Amino acid sequence: MENTPVLLNSPDAPAAVGPYSHAARIGDLLFCSGQIPLDPATMKLVPGGIEEQTRQVLANITAVLASQGISLAHVAKTTIFLADIADFPVVNQLYGEAMAGHRPARSTVQVGALPLGALIEIEVIASL
């Protein structure tokens, strides 16, 4: 297994808002940076609440995965960061719909704050 990561960016996901890549590939694993609900066209948070933001985050993750020829079905582990754990039921429902029966390992935590005032951020590890 090659130990040097290949750093990747998707043209269809929002540009990174800091000094990081969308993902790093090591061997057959893809470690994806957390995605917040930025609209790739405007680079602004999508309007609305947790439902709209969750949908955008999932779309951004899907774009990063698609850039490597894979989908959410290849995700092995997710970590969900919420500004308010009370949003968990809505996020859980939308996440379940997006995963379409696929059930990767998952952690969900409430955090003090997220970049740009986002309500949600999700990172994933996928198998290539």
Question: pLDDT truncated to tens, each residue of the chain (128 aa)?
Answer: 458 899 999 999 999 888 999 999 999 999 999 999 999 999 999 999 999 999 999 999 999 999 999 999 999 999 999 999 999 999 999 999 999 999 999 999 999 999 999 999 999 999 99
CATH number where 41 lies: 3.30.1330.40
Looking at the domain assignment, is residue 107 inside a domain?
A: yes
Entry pTM: 0.95
pLDDT value at residue 43: 95
If one counts the domains in the chain, the total is 1
Closest of 45, 50, 44, 42 to residue 84, by C-alpha: 50
The predicted pLDDT at position 103 comes to 97
Q: Is residue 86 part of a domain?
A: yes
Residues 6 or more apart from 95 whose CB is under 8 A from it?
Answer: 54, 58, 78, 80
State the residue range of the domain holding 93.
6-127
